[in-house]
Amino acid sequence: MNAPDRFELFVLPPDTEKLTVTQDTKVPNAAVFKIYLEDHTLGNIIRCQLLKDPTVIFAGYQQPHPLENYILVRIQTAPQNNPVAAFQHCLAELQKEFASIYSQFETQLAPHGWRTADERREM
């Protein structure tokens, strides 16, 4: 009855930005990133990747409400770094990680008798 429309999970509401950055006014080198239309899938990998960075003092994420489709990622870094740079580095590392999984997966397909998506379409 009052269930939210399912398309709200991937259609950005009007007058909202996908990403907003808010600097923390009380803690030095801290910021909160509000990311719309993302959930635990991305939140958790970002958090885990940030925690591997030695210059990151704090990294956490939350989805404040299950019916509101955004996550908050909070980062506090050591003075030699800053949250935006740490976040950027983290995303680049994740990008590399998934690219490596992709290429390794692809090379494993043929020896195990699977076709890649492209090869299958050409048939």
Footprint of other proteins on this chain (CB under 8 A)?
6-7, 9-11, 18-21, 23, 35, 38, 40-42, 44-45, 47-49, 82, 84-85, 87-88, 91-92, 94-95, 97-99, 101-102, 105-106, 108-109, 114-117, 120-121
- Token readout for 31 is 């910021």
- Token readout for 9 is 């999970």
Measured CA to CA, the distance from residue 49 to residue 33 in angstroms comes to 15
| Smallest separation (angstroms) from other proteins to the CB of 25 | 15
How far does the chain reach from its first CA to its final CA, in angstroms? 47
| Smallest separation (angstroms) from other proteins to the CB of 65 | 17
